[in-house]
Amino acid sequence: MPSEGLDGPNRTRVKPANDTLLRALRREPTEYTPIWLMRQAGRYLQEYNETRRRAGDFLTLAKTPELATEVTLQPVERFALDAAILFSDILTIPDAMGLGLGFTDGEGPKFERPVRTESDVKALAAPDPELELGYVLDAVRSTRTALQGRVPLIGFSGSPWTLACYMVEGGGSEDFRTVKTMLYSRPDLMHRVLAVNARAVTDYLNAQIRAGAQAVMLFDTWGGVLTDCAFREFSLAYISQVVRHLDRENEGEPVPSIVFTKGGGAWLEAIADCGCDAVGLDWTQDIGRARARIGHRCALQGNLDPAVLLAPEPVIRSESRRVLQAFGPLRNGDGTCGGHVFNLGHGISRFTPVEAVDTLVQAVHEHSRSLRQ
């Protein structure tokens, strides 16, 4: 097992022993299809629940680098996953902006000071990630050391629009009435919020990259609630801005980026054109048709319905095989590699049996290897 180490002041790290995910994101040949799962460190794991109980609450867990490292590694220790994803929350940025983030069991996140008025908007400023989000960067560094070069570490952020939804609504929403009212009534204010968020997200992801994240992902969870025109103006434009300004290399290696818009099937071509290395698909899309639309531009990530993991083992195996077969052969018609990272179409359910995850990982590895023979 290679170990991570320091090499003078440059802190040179070894490449992952298993770099299958990174090669797939770069659309290079792989022996099998790599797999990781959105929300793979979560409440379906007994060990996660035990660590969370020790922490006392979710925010303490997320803001304590040693505990965040511990739960990041838990699914990697239990399953043969091809990547770790940093344990954190997409709302760390608005929390660092001073909006007063809190979590209540059964109610989700809430902000004490939502962004509603013109003065609220004018007061917004992008936080310095080294100062106000240093606990996240410490968790990145700690996790890289603890991984000992086994698999890559993925960093992430919410998209500017998705962050704005929580900031303006003050939490989750069923109809996004408040944020959409601002969008249509005061688009100038909405653009100001998004501009600040885009700067904050860019700085945050680049800080994660410098701390050791080997790939990064933008979660545009609420992009799909917008009209076509509004998505392009208020979500995709700012995603593109972030991607354009990401550090593309660190430690002498490329750092790929993934963009995932839940409900974004209508905009796959436009998302692929933003400059990202991979487009994430939710479970409503046929991955084969998605590949035909954009597969020569970037890799694809996805896209099993998370509910499949609540079904019996034969169903998990057959449905995972269906996704792999729908993606098709690794090579495109022109001889280039297609690039596929297997994932769920959204986060794993807290009710998922751990045995189902083990079955899925094994099935994806086994069947994708057979397709390459």
Q: Which residues are catalytic?
A: 39, 43, 52, 89, 166
For tokens 């000992």, the residue is: 148
Which residues of the chain form beta strands (DSSP E)?
Answer: 84-85, 101-104, 108-111, 153-158, 215-220, 249-250, 253-254, 257-261, 278-280, 299-301, 340-341
CA distances from 232 to 151, 195, 364 (A): 35, 14, 34
Q: If you write DSSP's letter for every residue of 70-119 in order, what string do you get?
A: HHHHHHHHHS--S-EE----TTHHHHHTT--EEEETTTEEEESS---SHH
**Which residues are within 8 A (CB) of 327 and not within 5 positions of it... i.e. 6 or more apart?**
33, 287, 288, 291, 300, 338, 340
Strand partners, 253: 250
Q: Helix, strand, coil proportions of the chain in percent (round to 5)? A: 50, 10, 40
Residues 209 and 260: their CA atoms lie apart, in Å, by 19
Question: Which tokens belong to 123?
Answer: 């007061």
Helix, strand, or coil (residue 248): coil
CA distance 129 to 125: 12
Cross-strand pairs, 342 = 35
CA-wise closest residue to 218 among 246, 257, 247 = 257
- Residue 291 tokens, joined: 């590949």
Q: Compute how many other C-beta atoms are within 10 angstroms of the C-beta atom of residue 349.
A: 16
> What is the rounded CA–CA span in Å between residue 110 and residue 123?
19
